[in-house]
Each structure stands twice: as C-alpha cells, then as structure tokens.
Structure 1
Amino acid sequence: MKIVAGLGNPGAAYAGTRHNMGFEVIDILSEKSGISVDARKHKALIGKGVIGGEKVILAKPQTYMNLSGESLREIMDYYKSGPEDLIVIYDDISLEPGQLRIRTKGSAGGHNGIKSILQHLGTDVFLRIKVGVGEKPPRMDLADYVLGRMDGEDRTLAREAQETAAEAVSVLLEDGADAAMNRFNAKKKA
C-alpha cells in the first residue's frame, strides 16, 4: 500500500496558506482520482483508492505541521508500509513559486513537518515532492511568511505547480522515481 501524504495545518484559518501546499495537492488528487479524503483515522483525514494502478492511501495529517510524523508513523504501521511506500508533498521556500523538486532522500532543510517525519521514521530515505512558495522577504518572520497567503502571479504559478505535483504522483507510482525526476525536476523557463 502506497501512502501519499500532503502536509499542512488543519482548520479554516490555515486554508490557502503557503504551508498548506501539500493539503491542496491532496485535494487535487482526490478530485482527479475520485478518492474521498474524509475518513478520520490515525490523526489524519484519509481516503483509499487506486492511482496509476497502485493501491494508495491519500492522507492529510491533522496533527499540525510540526507533528506530521506522528500521524504518518501510525498510518504506516497500520498498513504495514515502509518508507519506500511513502510520498510526502510539502511547501519549499528555497524554490520559486511554480517550481517542483522531487527527491528520494535528504535532510529536513529547516522544514518542521519533514523534521518530525524524519524523527518518527528514523530514515531520510522516502520520496518527496517539494512545491515552491518562494523565499521569504528579508526581516520577515518565517512563520508569518509560510502561514501567509500567496496572491497574484505567485498564486497562479503555485496552483499550476500543484496540478503538476498531482501529475508527478501518478508518474512516481507508474514509472518510478527516476522517470519522475527526469520529467519534473527541470527548471521552469522565465
């Protein structure tokens, strides 16, 4: 069983924020695949279905970003899935809005949701899809930035990247990490 988790914070106050990029990609996947993500289990909203010929769990951890690993560990234990079965989708401030980056391993890079997952899994080897939200302005608090909302062209670019991230999930599931990285890690032309 593959687990596709989008990171974010629950509640209307956080809807549409930069930190909720992962939740929004799960919403797109839910709509495209017909998988309802509305069952409350394992400290998450989850839905079961098939994408790219693979049985999947779509998950939106409800633990708040900094404790995302708690929920994912529970889901993985329940479904007897290993880190090789996990795809995590989240926001990344080191990528410009509209850019994606797929990785098979790595550090948390300052992202507290990923830091929590690394602690609970005990490994840095799991698939990630990073969705660019752009660098924070100088002298702005990082928390205020990632909990803020995008507008204008940045929002349009982010929405396109979310659609592309949903497509990347299908490619990861059907063709594997190398094919997905070759296809989606190319820099966007300005």
Structure 2
Amino acid sequence: MEYTGVLVGLGNPGPRYDGTRHNCGFALVSALLELAEKEGDLNALNGGKFSCELWRVRLPQLGGTWLAAKPQTFMNLSGQCVQPLLAWHKLKPEQLVVAHDELDIPAGELRFKRGGGNAGHNGLKSITELLGTPDFYRLRLGIGRPPHKGDVTNWVLGRPDAEDAGKLRASLPMALDTLFAFADKGLEAAVRMARKADAPKPPKTGTKAADTDMPNG
C-alpha cells in the first residue's frame, strides 16, 4: 500500500515514562488515533520489525492514508525505528513528520518546520544520523525550560504541574490541525497554523497534576 505520509511521535516506552514531558509526541499520536476511531478509519499494524507500535490512519483531513508510529526503542535510539520504517514502506524523509517536545518553546505553544539542528534533542539526533539527512518535518510541542539551569534531564523526564499539563493538553487539537494543514497545503500553512496555538488557554477543570492525563503515551 502507498502512504501519503507518516507521523512519528517521540517518547520513551513503558509506564515509568507515561505523562512525562518527553512523551509529548506519544500524546499527539494518541490524539490522532482517537480522532481516527471517531471520524475515519484506524487499523493497528504489526510494527515489531520496526521496533514500534504502528497504525494505519485514514481521515478526510489527511487527504490520504498515513502511518502513525510510537517508537519503542527509547528516545536516544529513535532512528533505529524511523529509518527501517521509511525504507520498508518506500517513504522519503520529506514525507516524515516527527512530533517531539521542545524546550525552547513555552509550554503549550507549537512550531512547525523542516530541517534544522537538533538543539540537543537525542531523538532528533538519532533520526538525523540514521536517515543521513535533517530534512524531515518537525512538529515541535513546547514544554518550556526548567526554572533552574542544569536540570534538563529531570525536567524532560518529569511530569508537568497542573497548569502546564492543562496547556499541553489544550494544545493537542491545534497540533492536529497543524498536521492537517501540512497534509492539505504544505509547509507554510502548517507554520501559520502552529503559531495560532501560542499561549492556549487550558480548560478550567480544577484538576490536580495527579488527575491529568497529558501527555499519556
């Protein structure tokens, strides 16, 4: 089967990492799957040979059939999933959208771009090295920087407080709209759509951090 594109959401597998900032990419894939179940067509595939959980997704907003994947390799080995996945399905790097957490963007805000550096993100570094090119698309899910410098590892592997969790959760529908804008009209449309998510207002549910489900890989 020919696929129009593939969304790879980055994260770490296992319950230990559920709900951490580093698993925002998993959360976006989960949101896409939920929408596909309601409004499109969703099929689970065997992703074992690619070390990932894998689905075939059809939605009118995607304008074709896409793959969606959650690598099960741990973050710093993400390329060991992505490279064989693309090669097997004869997909090019320009058909790849990688959703990942981004320290340099405030929590809940989004950006979309093609190529560029990795900014210390080990998942992007691994994908770039094994694909042999940085020229794939990145849907960047802002998590903000830690209040104290030098605490990045604990920050990305930690769970956000209720306020930031609400912002991250509220940004997921706009992140999907950004993906759909890219599928429909390309890079510039996706860039514009992502910026509309700046400083989203989380729902006032009064939930505590322990009650939130964002991200939920």
Determine which of 168, 182, 186 is the counterpart of 2:192. 182
1:55-94, CA deviations, whole angstroms, 9 ceiling, x for partnerless residues? 1100000000000011000100110001011000000011
User: Does 2:168 correspond to 1:154?
Assistant: no
What does the per-residue CA deviation read over 1:134-154, in whole Å, with 9 as the maximum and x for residues that have no partner? 111214531111000012211
CA RMSD of aligned residues (A): 1.6
Match of 2:52 in 1: 44
TM-score when normalising by structure 1: 0.94
Aligned partners of 1:77, 1:64: CA distance in 2, in Å? 20
Residues 26 and 166, structure 1, Cα contact 8 Å, conserved in 2: no
Determine which structure has more spread, i.e. the larger CA radius of gyration: 2
CA contact (8 A) 2:56 2:67 kept: yes
Q: Number of aligned pairs? A: 190
Please name the residue that 2:215 is paired with.
none
* TM-fit CA distance, 1:168: 1.2
Over 3 Å counting, the alpha-carbon distance change for 1:141 and 1:49 in structure 2 is: same
Of residues 10, 14, 17, the one that matches 2:17 is 14
Secondary structure of the residue aligned to 2:78 is helix
Indicate which of 73, 82, 86 corresponds to 1:76: 86
Which shows bigger deviation, 101-110 or 177-186?
Answer: 177-186
Q: Do the aligned partners of residues 117 and 179 (structure 1) sit closer, same or farther apart at CA in structure 2, a change above 3 Å counting? A: same
Runs of 4+ in 1 over 4 A off after TM superposition: none
> Which whole-Å CA distance do the structure 1 matches of 2:152 and 2:16 have between them?
17
> Would the aligned equivalents of 2:11 and 2:70 in 1 still touch at CA under 8 Å?
yes
* Larger mean Cα displacement after TM superposition, 178-187 or 82-91: 178-187
Q: Which 5+ residue runs of structure 2 have no aligned equivalent? A: 201-217
Matched letter for residue 168 of structure 2: A
How many angstroms does 1:182 deviate by?
A: 1.8
Q: Distance in 2 between matches of 1:189 and 1:173?
A: 24
- Aligned counterpart, 1:66: 76
SS at match of 2:139: strand
Q: CA deviation at 1:188?
A: 2.2
Q: Which AA in structure 2 matches 1:175?
A: K
Given the alignment, which residue of 109, 113, 117 partners 1:103?
Answer: 113
Q: Give yes or no for contact 1:8–1:19 (8 Å, CA) kept in 2.
A: yes
In structure 2, the residue matched to 1:32 is: 35
Letter in 1 for 2:133: T
